[in-house]
Chains A and B, each alone.
Chain A
Protein backbone atom coordinates (compact mmCIF):
# COMPACT_ATOMS: atom_id res chain seq x y z
CA UNK A 1 0.00 0.00 0.00
CA UNK A 2 1.04 3.59 -0.60
CA UNK A 3 1.36 5.39 2.73
CA UNK A 4 0.79 9.12 3.12
CA UNK A 5 2.19 11.33 5.83
CA UNK A 6 1.05 14.85 6.59
CA UNK A 7 2.84 17.65 8.37
CA UNK A 8 2.16 19.23 10.65
CA UNK A 9 -0.36 16.98 12.41
CA UNK A 10 -1.94 20.10 13.85
CA UNK A 11 -1.46 23.84 13.77
CA UNK A 12 -2.91 26.90 15.39
CA UNK A 13 -3.58 29.92 13.23
CA UNK A 14 -5.50 33.17 13.10
CA UNK A 15 -7.97 34.50 10.57
CA UNK A 16 -6.01 36.00 7.71
CA UNK A 17 -2.97 33.77 8.16
CA UNK A 18 -1.36 31.89 5.31
CA UNK A 19 -1.43 28.16 6.05
CA UNK A 20 0.59 25.44 4.35
CA UNK A 21 0.14 21.69 4.80
CA UNK A 22 2.46 19.10 3.29
CA UNK A 23 1.60 15.56 2.21
CA UNK A 24 4.25 12.99 1.31
CA UNK A 25 3.75 9.62 -0.37
CA UNK A 26 5.95 6.55 0.03
CA UNK A 27 5.82 5.97 -3.73
CA UNK A 28 5.40 8.24 -6.70
CA UNK A 29 1.75 8.92 -7.45
CA UNK A 30 2.09 11.40 -10.33
CA UNK A 31 -0.77 13.86 -9.87
CA UNK A 32 -3.25 11.42 -8.30
CA UNK A 33 -3.62 13.41 -5.11
CA UNK A 34 -6.74 14.97 -3.65
CA UNK A 35 -7.28 17.23 -0.65
CA UNK A 36 -10.37 17.22 1.56
CA UNK A 37 -11.65 19.37 4.39
CA UNK A 38 -13.68 17.75 7.15
CA UNK A 39 -15.61 19.39 9.94
CA UNK A 40 -16.78 17.49 13.05
CA UNK A 41 -19.78 15.31 12.35
CA UNK A 42 -19.65 15.94 8.60
CA UNK A 43 -18.44 14.06 5.58
CA UNK A 44 -15.18 15.11 3.96
CA UNK A 45 -15.50 17.78 1.28
CA UNK A 46 -13.34 17.69 -1.84
CA UNK A 47 -11.20 20.81 -2.20
CA UNK A 48 -8.58 19.92 -4.80
CA UNK A 49 -8.05 17.03 -7.20
CA UNK A 50 -5.25 16.13 -9.58
CA UNK A 51 -2.90 17.77 -7.06
CA UNK A 52 -3.67 21.33 -8.11
CA UNK A 53 -7.14 21.61 -9.67
CA UNK A 54 -9.69 23.45 -7.60
CA UNK A 55 -12.99 21.63 -7.25
CA UNK A 56 -15.97 23.61 -8.53
CA UNK A 57 -17.33 25.95 -5.89
CA UNK A 58 -14.22 25.92 -3.70
CA UNK A 59 -12.86 29.38 -2.87
CA UNK A 60 -9.74 30.48 -4.70
CA UNK A 61 -7.84 31.01 -1.43
CA UNK A 62 -7.23 27.25 -1.55
CA UNK A 63 -4.47 26.01 -3.82
CA UNK A 64 -2.51 22.82 -4.30
CA UNK A 65 0.82 21.96 -5.81
CA UNK A 66 3.26 19.11 -6.23
CA UNK A 67 3.70 15.86 -8.07
CA UNK A 68 5.35 12.52 -7.53
CA UNK A 69 5.82 12.15 -3.79
CA UNK A 70 5.50 15.63 -2.29
CA UNK A 71 2.42 17.83 -2.29
CA UNK A 72 1.27 21.03 -0.65
CA UNK A 73 -2.07 22.54 0.24
CA UNK A 74 -2.04 26.28 0.83
CA UNK A 75 -4.74 28.51 2.23
CA UNK A 76 -3.74 32.04 1.31
CA UNK A 77 -5.84 33.85 3.90
CA UNK A 78 -7.51 31.67 6.51
CA UNK A 79 -11.22 32.32 7.03
CA UNK A 80 -13.37 31.38 10.04
CA UNK A 81 -15.02 28.54 8.13
CA UNK A 82 -11.62 26.99 7.34
CA UNK A 83 -10.95 25.76 10.87
CA UNK A 84 -11.22 22.02 10.30
CA UNK A 85 -9.19 18.89 9.63
CA UNK A 86 -7.55 18.47 6.23
CA UNK A 87 -6.77 15.13 4.61
CA UNK A 88 -4.80 14.22 1.53
CA UNK A 89 -5.65 11.08 -0.44
CA UNK A 90 -3.81 9.18 -3.13
CA UNK A 91 -5.88 7.71 -5.95
CA UNK A 92 -3.04 6.30 -8.03
CA UNK A 93 -3.39 2.69 -6.97
CA UNK A 94 -5.58 0.42 -4.88
CA UNK A 95 -6.16 0.57 -2.04
CA UNK A 96 -6.76 4.29 -2.11
CA UNK A 97 -5.25 5.68 1.07
CA UNK A 98 -5.60 8.84 3.11
CA UNK A 99 -3.13 10.83 5.11
CA UNK A 100 -3.62 10.98 8.90
CA UNK A 101 -4.97 14.50 8.77
CA UNK A 102 -3.93 17.99 9.81
CA UNK A 103 -6.12 19.78 12.31
CA UNK A 104 -6.24 23.55 11.93
CA UNK A 105 -7.56 25.32 15.00
CA UNK A 106 -7.80 28.82 16.39
CA UNK A 107 -4.68 30.36 17.87
Chain B
Protein backbone atom coordinates (compact mmCIF):
# COMPACT_ATOMS: atom_id res chain seq x y z
CA UNK B 1 0.00 0.00 0.00
CA UNK B 2 1.61 3.22 -1.16
CA UNK B 3 1.80 5.99 1.41
CA UNK B 4 2.98 9.57 1.09
CA UNK B 5 4.69 11.14 4.09
CA UNK B 6 5.29 14.86 3.87
CA UNK B 7 7.26 17.32 5.95
CA UNK B 8 8.44 20.91 5.94
CA UNK B 9 8.48 24.18 7.85
CA UNK B 10 5.08 25.28 9.11
CA UNK B 11 5.71 28.94 9.91
CA UNK B 12 7.25 31.40 7.49
CA UNK B 13 7.79 35.15 7.30
CA UNK B 14 6.74 37.07 4.20
CA UNK B 15 9.35 36.90 1.40
CA UNK B 16 10.79 33.59 2.67
CA UNK B 17 10.83 30.35 0.69
CA UNK B 18 8.41 27.52 1.42
CA UNK B 19 10.02 24.08 1.22
CA UNK B 20 8.13 20.81 1.48
CA UNK B 21 9.26 17.26 0.81
CA UNK B 22 7.11 14.20 0.20
CA UNK B 23 8.43 10.69 0.66
CA UNK B 24 6.92 7.73 -1.17
CA UNK B 25 6.72 4.56 0.88
CA UNK B 26 5.61 1.11 -0.12
CA UNK B 27 5.43 1.43 -3.86
CA UNK B 28 7.14 2.34 -7.10
CA UNK B 29 8.37 5.90 -7.44
CA UNK B 30 9.54 5.90 -11.03
CA UNK B 31 6.34 5.22 -12.93
CA UNK B 32 3.90 7.78 -11.62
CA UNK B 33 3.08 11.49 -11.58
CA UNK B 34 3.72 13.43 -8.40
CA UNK B 35 2.09 16.68 -7.50
CA UNK B 36 1.28 19.31 -4.92
CA UNK B 37 -2.13 20.76 -4.10
CA UNK B 38 -2.98 23.42 -1.55
CA UNK B 39 -6.08 24.48 0.30
CA UNK B 40 -6.37 27.92 1.84
CA UNK B 41 -8.37 28.37 5.05
CA UNK B 42 -12.03 28.14 4.20
CA UNK B 43 -11.23 27.93 0.50
CA UNK B 44 -11.19 25.21 -2.05
CA UNK B 45 -8.42 23.18 -3.57
CA UNK B 46 -5.73 24.57 -5.87
CA UNK B 47 -3.41 22.44 -7.98
CA UNK B 48 0.15 23.76 -7.75
CA UNK B 49 2.03 21.57 -10.17
CA UNK B 50 3.44 18.15 -10.98
CA UNK B 51 6.58 16.26 -11.88
CA UNK B 52 6.56 13.03 -13.82
CA UNK B 53 8.84 10.05 -13.85
CA UNK B 54 11.13 11.59 -16.46
CA UNK B 55 11.49 14.81 -14.48
CA UNK B 56 9.20 16.88 -16.66
CA UNK B 57 7.29 19.51 -14.70
CA UNK B 58 4.04 21.36 -15.22
CA UNK B 59 3.01 24.28 -13.06
CA UNK B 60 -0.10 26.31 -12.40
CA UNK B 61 0.42 29.56 -14.34
CA UNK B 62 -0.81 31.49 -11.31
CA UNK B 63 2.25 30.31 -9.36
CA UNK B 64 4.70 29.38 -12.11
CA UNK B 65 7.13 32.23 -11.53
CA UNK B 66 7.65 31.17 -7.91
CA UNK B 67 7.35 27.37 -7.97
CA UNK B 68 9.89 24.62 -8.44
CA UNK B 69 9.08 20.92 -8.08
CA UNK B 70 11.98 18.50 -8.10
CA UNK B 71 12.55 14.86 -7.30
CA UNK B 72 15.20 12.54 -5.93
CA UNK B 73 14.54 9.09 -7.31
CA UNK B 74 17.28 7.53 -5.17
CA UNK B 75 15.33 8.53 -2.06
CA UNK B 76 11.82 8.18 -3.56
CA UNK B 77 11.13 11.78 -2.65
CA UNK B 78 9.84 14.86 -4.42
CA UNK B 79 9.90 18.43 -3.22
CA UNK B 80 8.18 21.78 -3.57
CA UNK B 81 9.79 25.18 -3.31
CA UNK B 82 7.68 28.32 -3.39
CA UNK B 83 9.62 31.55 -3.23
CA UNK B 84 8.68 35.01 -1.97
CA UNK B 85 5.72 33.81 0.06
CA UNK B 86 3.01 36.19 1.26
CA UNK B 87 0.09 35.87 3.63
CA UNK B 88 -1.94 34.66 0.64
CA UNK B 89 0.20 31.50 0.54
CA UNK B 90 -1.07 30.43 3.97
CA UNK B 91 -2.69 27.06 3.35
CA UNK B 92 -2.62 23.35 3.95
CA UNK B 93 -0.28 21.83 1.38
CA UNK B 94 -0.77 18.28 0.17
CA UNK B 95 1.34 16.03 -1.97
CA UNK B 96 -0.48 13.51 -4.15
CA UNK B 97 -0.06 10.95 -6.89
CA UNK B 98 -1.59 10.31 -10.27
CA UNK B 99 -0.90 6.69 -11.21
CA UNK B 100 1.19 5.73 -14.19
CA UNK B 101 -1.80 5.20 -16.47
CA UNK B 102 -2.37 8.95 -16.56
CA UNK B 103 -4.56 11.77 -15.34
CA UNK B 104 -7.79 10.02 -16.28
CA UNK B 105 -7.27 7.95 -13.11
CA UNK B 106 -7.38 10.88 -10.71
CA UNK B 107 -5.25 11.54 -7.64
CA UNK B 108 -5.42 8.25 -5.84
CA UNK B 109 -2.92 8.69 -3.02
CA UNK B 110 -2.48 11.78 -0.84
CA UNK B 111 -0.13 12.87 1.87
CA UNK B 112 -1.42 13.84 5.27
CA UNK B 113 -1.10 17.57 4.63
CA UNK B 114 1.20 20.22 6.05
CA UNK B 115 -0.18 23.45 7.46
CA UNK B 116 1.91 26.40 6.35
CA UNK B 117 1.30 29.79 7.93
CA UNK B 118 2.87 32.96 6.59
CA UNK B 119 2.93 35.74 9.13
CA UNK B 120 5.13 38.65 10.04
Chain B positions within 8 Å of A63 at CB level? none
Pick from A34, A45, A92, A94: contact of B58, CB under 8 Å: A94
Cα-based distance from A62 to B104 in the complex (angstroms): 18
Tell me, yes or no, whether B40 is within 8 Å of chain A by CB.
Answer: no
Main DSSP-derived SS at the B contact region: mixed
Cα-based distance from A21 to B108 in the complex (angstroms): 21
Cα-based distance from A101 to B46 in the complex (angstroms): 12
Q: Name the residue of chain B whose CB is nearest to the CB of A93.
A: B103
Chain B 71-103 per-residue mask, 1 if CB under 8 angstroms from chain A, else 0: 000000000000000000000001010100001
Given A87-B44, A100-B44, A43 contacting B112 (CB threshold 8 A) = yes
Tell me, yes or no, whether B45 is within 8 Å of chain A by CB.
Answer: yes
Chain B 104-120 per-residue mask, 1 if CB under 8 angstroms from chain A, else 0: 11111011110000000
Tell whether, in the assembled complex, residue A101 and residue B107 are in contact, meaning their CB atoms are under 8 Å apart.
no
Q: Name the residue of chain A whose CB is nearest to the CB of B6.
A: A43
Tell me, yes or no, whether A98 is within 8 Å of chain B by CB.
Answer: yes
Q: Name the residue of chain B whose CB is nearest to the CB of A101.
A: B44
Cα-based distance from A95 to B113 in the complex (angstroms): 20
Tell me, yes or no, whether B7 is within 8 Å of chain A by CB.
Answer: no
Chain A positions within 8 Å of B106 at CB level? 34, 36, 46, 48-50, 55, 89, 91
Cα-based distance from A44 to B95 in the complex (angstroms): 11
Main DSSP-derived SS at the A contact region: loop
Tell whether, in the assembled complex, residue A95 and residue B62 are in contact, meaning their CB atoms are under 8 Å apart.
yes
Tell whether, in the assembled complex, residue B44 and residue A44 are in contact, meaning their CB atoms are under 8 Å apart.
no
Chain A positions within 8 Å of B113 at CB level? 42-43
Tell me, yes or no, whether A71 is within 8 Å of chain B by CB.
Answer: no
Pick from B47, B62, B110: contact of A96, CB under 8 Å: B47
Interface residues of A in 73-94 (CB under 8 A from B): 87, 89, 91-92, 94
Chain B residues near A (Cβ < 8 Å): 44-47, 58-62, 94, 96, 98, 103-108, 110-113
The 6 closest A-B pairs by CB, nearest first: A34-B106, A49-B106, A91-B103, A43-B110, A98-B45, A95-B60
